[in-house]
Amino acid sequence: MFFMITGFMNYGQQTVRAARYIGQSFMITLSHANRLPVTIQYPYEKIITSERFRGRIHFEFDKCIACEVCVRVCPIDLPVVDWKLETDIRKKRLFNYSIDFGICIFCGNCIEYCPTNCLSMTEEYELSTYDRHELNYNQIALGRLPVSGIDDYTIRTIQIKLSSFKKKNYFKNENHINQILFYIY
């Protein structure tokens, strides 16, 4: 008989514990219901990249001295530099410069060690193509600057939404909105 009573007590304790755990998890779920969505609907909304974002490489042909430092510091020897030594002026003449972004790991070593700063990282991250050979950029394709993300329609829409939320006092304090803006920018 005593065994049966302790069994009922254990069963009752387990039932109360399970109800408490369910209630706690439900409260956590409700606390997240009042937050802004974190998911970005990619083709329609674009992420504003940070200041140090490593996107597509931009190349300035006129600044390059064909020293091949970028090739030596690249962990995969990726940049292809074609040059010829001009004997009359004793300088290298650059003919072609290309990078295959299908292989590039976007480490930024080439930009960091370039003595003439002819290479720089852009904020462009949309490099998808149907054919991987289209990711091989020559000096003409590398020289094109991307469209700025701040001028994009979706970014302006996000900024307008944030300002309307700020007017409605949706945010708890100024620090809360700064955290959201830091995430977006």
Known binding-site positions for [4Fe-4S] cluster: 64, 67, 70, 74, 104, 107, 110, 114
Task: Work out the widest C-alpha separation in the chain, in whole angstroms.
Answer: 109
What is the rounded distance in angstroms from the CA atom of residue 59 to the CA atom of residue 10? 72
What is the rounded distance in angstroms from the CA atom of residue 100 to the CA atom of residue 172? 47
Residues making up the annotated binding site are 64, 67, 70, 74, 104, 107, 110, 114
Q: Please name the residue that has the structure tokens 């302006």.
A: 156
Residues 6+ apart with CB under 8 A from 11: none
Cβ contact 75:108 at 8 Å: no
119: helix, strand or coil: strand
Element (H, E) at 137: strand 136-137
Beta bridge partners of 57: 121
